[in-house]
């Protein structure tokens, strides 16, 4: 099931998503456009190294809790307990449970944002194949697959998690790809292309329907990349 190479993708960060969060802070302001009633987030680098360690420990605990239990069953108290800190400290660093979730998802989502650059840098006629390889590559790699599964499971079952998914996938990825197309219906095109890839992820990696679940990844790229390209630039 391997063999998909992704320029700038997860293959270059064997240590997993923890090591590659180049865009997380740079893109943070874009991810919460105009949400009312949310407490201000503490995203800047803390002034003391000790605080940075605490923040990362909370974030690691949050990722683990959300991955294992899903959004609904995870509590700020549980995250705090797992990180060995008081709940108030979790609120201090991240705000609400939704904001902890978004921060955790952003870390898991970092490889996608990294792969995005390879898609955006491609010649227009190669964007379909690059996008297909990036998404398949992330799902093929167990390190990046686990958090993606957690995001999908949470987003399908919980409206708040779905909102985080919308802001990240639509806002950070699809809208940027659409921006390259220079067509009036670019966003719809990008979403129909994404739908093909989301559906393959669902059938191959989540529900695991054969023969697609065991098909060679390159064979899938061969068949799907032209479809994705067609949605993006066809007619």
Instruction: Report, in Å, the least distance between residue 213 CB and a second copy.
Output: 9
- Classify 145 in phi/psi space as left (phi over 0), alpha (psi -120 to 50) or beta: alpha
Binding part of the chain for a second copy, among 29-37, 111-119, 126-134, 164-172 by CB under 8 A, reads 164-172
Instruction: Tell which positions 185-214 bind a second copy, by CB under 8 A.
Output: 187-188, 191-192, 194-200, 202-204, 206-212
CA distances from 94 to 53, 77, 97, 114, 130 (A): 14, 13, 8, 23, 34
Residue 183 within binding range of a second copy, rule CB under 8 A:
no
Binding part of the chain for a second copy, among 14-22, 23-31, 91-99, 227-235 by CB under 8 A, reads 227-235
Cα end-to-end distance, the chain, whole Å: 33
Residue 223 within binding range of a second copy, rule CB under 8 A:
yes
User: What's the rounded Cα separation, in Å, for the pair 132 and 23?
Assistant: 21
Give whichever of 39 and 207 is closer to a second copy, judged by the CB atom.
207
Pull the structure tokens for residue 195: 């739908």
- Residue 229 CA, chain-centre distance (Å), reads 21
User: What's the rounded Cα separation, in Å, for the pair 141 and 12?
Assistant: 11
Instruction: Report, in Å, the least distance between residue 165 CB and a second copy.
Output: 6
Give whichever of 86 and 222 is closer to a second copy, judged by the CB atom.
222
Residue 166 within binding range of a second copy, rule CB under 8 A:
yes
Instruction: Show the CA angle centred on residue 11, arms to residues 203 and 169, nearest 5°.
Output: 50
Binding part of the chain for a second copy, among 5-13, 32-40, 48-56, 161-169 by CB under 8 A, reads 161-169
Pull the structure tokens for residue 235: 């007619």
Give whichever of 45 and 223 is closer to a second copy, judged by the CB atom.
223
Binding-site size for a second copy (CB under 8 A) equals: 40
User: What's the rounded Cα separation, in Å, for the pair 83 and 105?
Assistant: 17
Q: Name the residues that contact a second copy, by CB under 8 A.
A: 70, 152-153, 155-157, 162, 165-166, 169-170, 174, 187-188, 191-192, 194-200, 202-204, 206-212, 215, 220, 223-224, 227, 230-231
């Amino acid at each position: 099931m391997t063999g998909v190479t992704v320029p700038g993708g997860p293959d270059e960060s064997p240590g997993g998503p923890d090591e590659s969060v180049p865009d997380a802070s740079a893109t943070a302001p874009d991810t919460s456009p105009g949400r009312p009633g949310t407490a201000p987030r503490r995203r800047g680098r803390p002034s003391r190294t000790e605080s940075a360690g605490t923040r990362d420990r909370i974030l690691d605990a949050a990722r683990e809790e959300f991955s294992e239990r899903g959004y609904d069953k995870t509590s700020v108290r549980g995250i705090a307990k797992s990180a060995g800190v008081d709940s108030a400290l979790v609120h201090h660093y991240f705000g609400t449970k939704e904001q902890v979730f978004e921060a955790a998802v952003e870390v898991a989502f970092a490889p996608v944002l990294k792969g995005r650059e390879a898609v955006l840098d491609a010649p227009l006629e190669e964007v379909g194949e690059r996008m297909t390889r990036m998404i398949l590559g992330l799902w093929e790699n167990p390190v990046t697959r686990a958090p993606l599964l957690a995001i999908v499971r949470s987003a399908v079952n919980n409206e708040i998690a779905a909102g985080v998914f919308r802001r990240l996938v639509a806002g950070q990825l699809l809208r940027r790809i659409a921006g390259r197309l220079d067509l009036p219906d670019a966003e719809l095109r990008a979403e129909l292309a994404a739908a093909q890839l989301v559906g393959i992820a669902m059938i191959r990696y989540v529900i695991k329907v054969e023969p697609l679940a065991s098909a060679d990844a390159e064979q899938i790229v061969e068949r799907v990349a032209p479809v994705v390209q067609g949605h993006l630039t066809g007619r």
